Structure 1
Amino acid sequence: MPVDPEYIEQLVLEEIAGTISPEDSITLKDLVENNPDAYAIWLRMHRRLTGDHIQSMREDLPDTLPLSQIIRVARERKRRKILARTSLSVAAVLLLTASVCYKLLFPAFKPVSPGTGPSFALKSVMLQLPDGRSFQLGSGQQQFKAVGNIFRSTSGKLSWSGGGTESQLATIIVPPGKDYIVQLPDGTEVMLNAASRLEFPLAFAHHRNIRISGEAYLRVAKEGNRPFRVQLPNSVVEVLGTSFNVNTYEGTQERVLLETGSVKLLTADGNILLDPGQAVSYQPGKAPEAFSGDTAMALAWKRGYYSFQGTSVRDVSKVMERNYSIRVILDDVAAGEQLYSSRLEKGEELEKFLIRLKSIVKIDYQFEKGDSVLHLSYRP
């Protein structure tokens, strides 16, 4: 069903500002859960208007903007409703609107890794095509024709034929609790983990460039005359033919683990070449350094489970959020500092996992808002 983008943007803006009414909240939840286009708008706006990156952007903005400019933008975007209903201070409203104006004027702001989706996040993998159309991809067999190509989705894997150009960019969005494989035009396979995103051209010509946020395992087809480049939020991985894992779930830190072949990580703080079995963790402002990586543990997600060895419950909770599409709140510092050694099966029921977690570490748990928010607390 078609949606009015401006109406969705207004609802999402009110949700972020904390001024959305219960009725509109229910409407937004239904739209995001059942309409891929609405979910795409929700995801884009949450990426741009929430998190640490938006705070740093706000610090660079003037304290206020001319009132006439604010009202004009609000009228053009049909968002005047938020100005009348918001419970925030006037300064906060102006600041939020200024952020929106800034993003409209400067759309090239550096992308960030997707955060954990909400409880009403999209249930299926979504394909966004260059012509603006979106398709939900299931685990069965699908075939459809669009933008001059025939797309086939079979057993959780997408491929296509028919041509295209490097300028035709498509996007795959994988929701929490899912994973998906994309076979690119050169034969390269990209396996995306939960809550991840892949941007790619429908055809490769002189270059083989893609963009990934989240986590993915790549098996790159070797072509000596066309290097393969993976753009991450803060760095670029350059390869010829190899298999490796990238992880950008932590917005300020990116990890690359090489399984076979050779890759080079290119950053603003220096470049580094990896050998098989090596990994690198990069944070902007610090020179990247290679270390010996645990390949089996890092790639366990490809085999259907997550492996933990002396892992803090704080880090385990982040995996739980991506696997179960819930929000996890640590009620005290001690709960997050508990160390957990076991595994989490991707298809395992949440309650079953929590019982095992509780038996191993000193925590209690309780749910809020049905089953969408989980509280973990320390148990002396």
Structure 2
Amino acid sequence: MNKKYLTDLYMRYLSNHCEKEDIHELLTYFGEIDEEKLFKLVLNEFELVDEKEEDAINNEEKIKLSKIYNVVKKGINKKNKKDNNRRLYIIRFSVAALFVLLIGGAMLWHLFYQPIQTLPKQLISKSQVNDISPGHFGATLHLSNGQTIMLDSTQNGTLAKQGSGVQIIKNNGQIKYAGASNKLIYNTITTGSGREYKLILSDGTKVWLNSESSLTYPISFTGKTRTVQVSGEAYFEVVHNAKQPFQVKVKNQLIEDIGTSFNVESYANEIVTKTTLVEGSIKVSKDKQSIILKPGQQAETGDQIGLNKNVNIAEEIAWKNGYFIFQQTSLKQIMQQISRWYNVSIEYRGNIQPSLFTGKIPRTMQASKVLEVLEQAGVHFKIEKIPEQGNQGNIIVIP
């Protein structure tokens, strides 16, 4: 089975998007896999360690993996014995099993084996009663004439015409611009909490917007430069044109493309703007200071521009690919991401001990599942839904 396909299939299962055929495929795979392959699957697919570091895993951790393997085999045997009842069984890692927490040097493994259709009541989190759904694809388009278009609910087709012949077209949920105008006209697209969006600019440049973000841009690039303005977080795949450079204004800095894919994070409540280069080259400038980034580097701009040469690109652009990825990330940083994506307020009560988390989890999970993972570190949560508040509710963090 293709490695990437297996991972995607497994993630679909965890987010309850698997068909019966998909579950049978997973069962078949787990029924054939040997212990060594399972060991590598757990390590590599869920990014616990690099392949080159497998030998560094100590015996205690190997024993834990062996136990997982034995439970898998036991589950497969039970499934085979009950084929006449046509009951579907599968090994379900809880989110805590997939999203492994490396806390205080200890690996916390939690493995559950349950029939798909009969999850016991005692395994259902209390917070699921007031559960909160993850964010979704959507945005608001603000035209230059003051008109607003809710992109979540509009149908595919031509949404508007601007200038001397530019059409705004929605296709497969995203918008693009067709035609040209000799007049400089700006539109703005915004994503509130719990929303993200992708659009294609008139030059073919692709832009992904994370939650609580905005992009202001011309409907047609007519000047010597192609300049847009961003707040929040955005990922760009720029169509390079040396005769008409692409520029991104963000707070008090300027990013200039030299043939590029990059991520910029600059929320209003954050002091530092982070610009991470994925491919190509960009120039980041502030006042009289400027640096040119190479792939895998990050500019951190506050009062001055700092250079981070050792960046985990997968973590920086995880949101674009549908995941949360944490590498020794603090609880408050994690809760800030959860607040934006789930459109909730965060409240801290009591003496919360500082903790660092490492792991990966799909953004398609219900809030309760994400919180169950974090609770393995000794922190607890309570979900409160307050409809009149204007968001999906509150998440209260308690010791």
User: Do the two structures share a fold, i.e. TM-score over 0.5?
Assistant: yes
Query: 1:347 offset after TM fit, Å?
Result: 1.8
Whole-angstrom CA distance in 2 between matches of 1:123 and 1:157: 9
Matched with 1:218 is 236
Residue type of the alignment partner of 2:296: G
Residues 13-47 of structure 1: CA deviation (Å, up to 9, x unaligned): xxxxxxxxxxxxxxxxxxxxxxxxxxxxxxxxxxx
Matched with 2:140 is 126
Query: 1:296 offset after TM fit, Å?
Result: 1.3
Whole-angstrom CA distance in 1 between matches of 2:152 and 2:338: 22
Matched with 1:188 is 205
* Alignment counterpart, residue 289 of structure 1, candidates 298, 301, 307: 307
* Alignment counterpart, residue 365 of structure 2, candidates 322, 345, 348: 348
TM-score normalized with structure 2 length:
0.60
Matched with 1:373 is 394
Residues 273-316 of structure 1: CA deviation (Å, up to 9, x unaligned): 11111112111x23422422111111111211110122111000
Are 1:243 and 1:258, in contact at CA under 8 Å, matched by a contact in 2? yes
Residues 82-115 of structure 1: CA deviation (Å, up to 9, x unaligned): xxxxxxxxxxxxxxxxxxxxxxxxxxxxxxxxxx
Are 2:232 and 2:266, in contact at CA under 8 Å, matched by a contact in 1? yes
Does 1 or 2 have the higher relative contact order (CA < 8 Å, sep 6+)?
2
Matched with 2:160 is 145
Are 2:346 and 2:394, in contact at CA under 8 Å, matched by a contact in 1? yes
Matched with 2:78 is none
Whole-angstrom CA distance in 2 between matches of 1:333 and 1:296: 32
Whole-angstrom CA distance in 2 between matches of 1:239 and 1:356: 39
Whole-angstrom CA distance in 2 between matches of 1:151 and 1:133: 13
Matched with 2:282 is 263
Which shows bigger deviation, 195-204 or 288-297? 288-297
Query: 1:374 offset after TM fit, Å?
Result: 1.5
Structure 2 unaligned residues grouped into runs of 5+: 1-132
Which runs of structure 2 are paired with 1:193-204 in the superposition (5 Å)? 193-204=210-221
Are 1:122 and 1:175, in contact at CA under 8 Å, matched by a contact in 2? no
Matched with 2:270 is 251
Are 1:368 and 1:375, in contact at CA under 8 Å, matched by a contact in 2? no
Are 1:177 and 1:346, in contact at CA under 8 Å, matched by a contact in 2? no
- Report sequence identity in percent: 26
Residue type of the alignment partner of 2:295: P
Residue type of the alignment partner of 2:394: V
Whole-angstrom CA distance in 2 between matches of 1:124 and 1:260: 27
Residue type of the alignment partner of 1:266: S
Query: Could you say which structure has the higher strand fraction?
Result: 2
Are 2:199 and 2:208, in contact at CA under 8 Å, matched by a contact in 1? yes
Matched with 1:135 is 149
Are 1:271 and 1:288, in contact at CA under 8 Å, matched by a contact in 2? no
SS of residue in 2 equivalent to 1:266: strand
Query: 1:375 offset after TM fit, Å?
Result: 1.0
RMSD over equivalenced CA pairs, Å: 2.4
TM-score normalized with structure 1 length:
0.63
SS of residue in 2 equivalent to 1:302: helix
- For residues 330 and 315 of structure 1, do their structure 2 counterparts lie closer, same or farther at Cα, with a shift above 3 Å needed? same
Give yes or no for the alignment of 1:329 onto 2:347: yes
Aligned length: 257
* Alignment counterpart, residue 325 of structure 2, candidates 280, 285, 307: 307
Give yes or no for the alignment of 1:359 onto 2:376: yes
Matched with 1:158 is 175
Whole-angstrom CA distance in 2 between matches of 1:280 and 1:124: 29
* Alignment counterpart, residue 177 of structure 1, candidates 190, 194, 197: 194
Whole-angstrom CA distance in 2 between matches of 1:286 and 1:159: 36
Instruction: Kindly name which structure, 1 or 2, has the bigger radius of gyration based on alpha carbons.
Output: 2
